[in-house]
């Protein structure tokens, strides 16, 4: 099988490329990635010179490019996106362009060449849960509340529309927060680890009691693999880690692993429209495809901290580039 993986130089996409090429020796992968601030060829350097992997630098909105690549492959696994909520608050336009317009360009190519299409989405399309509300499931109504989640919701609707209208063989996954190797150091867990390693304080938005359902990225890759190969066409699968934790719990656990105290925590102004709680009921994918998370949050955090300790050049290069500009703007504009 030959896969077109969009966004394969980013966090989850690169973990997925590694997973596929290591698990299936007869598979080939073309990675299409625009190498935005979040894309990094270092993430894929293990496959340099390997004939089973080809990297193409390009934008998913480039219809001519996308058409040719989709025609060459058996299936598309679509990760490419603007993925960070805080950036979507600062500048929503590029989220519409990439996440909605880009997805439509890929769908048109998949439709023209009748290719299998898996769309990687987020649980954030479902909105925010109260403390006692049941977790999100495939039956939950969409209620996105940030420009990021609204753009992902738009893309999900388009993917489903191409299934119902044109019979395109699609699947969709809505996954909770991922963490693990190659997580760009603007997201909570990677930002906290790298800030602590740099001797900086960890910024906690608001009261720190917002809840996320954390999933180790390797488990997400296994779930997408299961859906790609055995998922029912036209269906959506919710993926979660059974890892609901308050942000402050996560930060304290990272401090504990690194032998630091709570003096390293700094409460900062809250994110506008900050969703309070996400949680996922993953019983459908467990029942139908036998998938369930295998890495506990304690084990996953220990592995992730170790990865950032062992790969300091990777994140120091990122943090010494344009990152600083974004980071300052982030706090000045709030």
Which residues belong to the active site?
Answer: 123-124, 148
Specify the stretch interacting with ligand NAD by CB under 6 A; choose among 2-10, 197-205, 264-272, 324-332.
Answer: 2-10
3-state helix, strand, coil in the chain (%, to 5): 50, 15, 35
CA atoms of 242 and 257, how far apart (whole Å): 21
Our finding on whether 170 is near ligand NAD (CB under 6 A) is no
Which residues, in sequence order, are bridge partners of residue 266? Answer: 203
Q: Which of 10, 102, 180, 203 binds ligand TYD (CB under 6 A)?
A: 203
**According to CB under 6 A, which residues from 41 to 100 bind ligand NAD?**
59-61, 79-83, 98
Our finding on whether 39 is near ligand TYD (CB under 6 A) is no
Specify the stretch interacting with ligand TYD by CB under 6 A; choose among 94-102, 205-213, 288-296, 314-322.
Answer: 205-213
Q: Which of 33, 156, 244, 275 binds ligand NAD (CB under 6 A)?
A: 33
What is the number of other CB atoms lying within 10 angstroms of the CB of residue 45? 10
Our finding on whether 297 is near ligand NAD (CB under 6 A) is no
**According to CB under 6 A, which residues from 144 to 183 bind ligand TYD?**
177
Nearest Cα to 302, choosing from 181, 183, 175? 181
Q: Please, what is the minimum distance in Å from the beta carbon of residue 302 to ligand TYD?
A: 19
CA atoms of 108 and 70, how far apart (whole Å): 10
* Position with the least CB separation from ligand NAD: 10
Nearest Cα to 219, choosing from 279, 171, 170, 285? 285
Structure tokens given for 130:
């109260």
- Among ligand NAD, ligand TYD, none, the one that 212 touches (CB under a kind-dependent 5 to 8 A) is ligand TYD
Q: Please, what is the minimum distance in Å from the beta carbon of residue 186 to ligand NAD?
A: 9
Q: Which of 9, 70, 85, 175 binds ligand TYD (CB under 6 A)?
A: 85
CA atoms of 288 and 179, how far apart (whole Å): 25
Nearest Cα to 80, choosing from 64, 92, 62, 68? 62
The footprint of ligand TYD on this chain (CB under 6 A) covers a number of residues equal to 12
Q: Which of 4, 10, 240, 297 binds ligand NAD (CB under 6 A)?
A: 10
CA atoms of 156 and 264, how far apart (whole Å): 39
**According to CB under 6 A, which residues from 218 to 257 bind ligand TYD?**
247
Q: Please, what is the minimum distance in Å from the beta carbon of residue 236 to ligand TYD?
A: 19
CA atoms of 155 and 172, how far apart (whole Å): 10
Indicate the pairing of strand 2-6 with strand 28-33: parallel
Binding site for ligand TYD (CB under 6 A): 85, 177, 187-188, 191, 203-205, 210, 212, 247, 271
């Amino acid at each position: 099988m030959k896969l077109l993986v969009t966004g394969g130089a980013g966090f989850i996409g690169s973990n997925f490329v590694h997973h596929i090429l290591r698990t299936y020796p007869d598979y080939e992968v073309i990675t299409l990635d625009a190498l935005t601030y979040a894309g990094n060829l270092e993430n894929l350097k293990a496959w340099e010179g390997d004939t089973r992997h080809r990297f193409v630098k390009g934008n998913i909105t480039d219809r001519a490019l996308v058409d040719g690549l989709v025609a060459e492959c058996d299936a598309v696994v679509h990760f490419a996106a603007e993925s960070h909520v805080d950036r979507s608050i600062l500048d929503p336009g590029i989220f519409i362009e990439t996440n909605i317009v880009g997805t439509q360009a890929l769908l048109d190519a998949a439709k023209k060449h009748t290719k299998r299409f898996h769309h990687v989405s987020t649980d954030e399309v479902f909105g925010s849960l109260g403390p006692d509300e049941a977790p999100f499931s495939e039956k939950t109504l969409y209620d996105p509340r940030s420009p990021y989640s609204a753009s992902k919701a738009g893309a999900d609707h388009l993917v489903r529309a191409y299934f119902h209208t044109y019979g395109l063989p699609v699947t969709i996954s809505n996954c909770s927060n991922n963490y693990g190797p190659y997580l760009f150091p603007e997201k909570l867990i990677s930002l906290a680890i790298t800030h602590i390693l740099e001797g900086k304080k960890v910024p906690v938005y608001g009261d720190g009691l917002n809840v996320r359902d954390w999933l180790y990225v390797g488990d997400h890759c296994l779930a997408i693999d299961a859906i790609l190969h055995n998922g029912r066409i036209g269906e959506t699968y919710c993926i979660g880690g059974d890892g609901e934790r308050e942000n402050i719990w996560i930060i304290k656990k990272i401090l504990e692993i690194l032998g630091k105290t709570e003096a390293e925590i700094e409460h900062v102004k809250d994110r506008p429209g900050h969703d309070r709680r996400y949680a996922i009921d993953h019983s459908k994918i467990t029942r139908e495809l036998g998938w369930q998370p295998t890495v506990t949050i304690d084990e996953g955090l220990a592995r992730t901290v170790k990865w950032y300790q062992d790969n300091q050049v990777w994140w120091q290069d990122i943090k010494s580039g344009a990152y600083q500009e974004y980071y300052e703007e982030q706090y000045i504009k709030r």
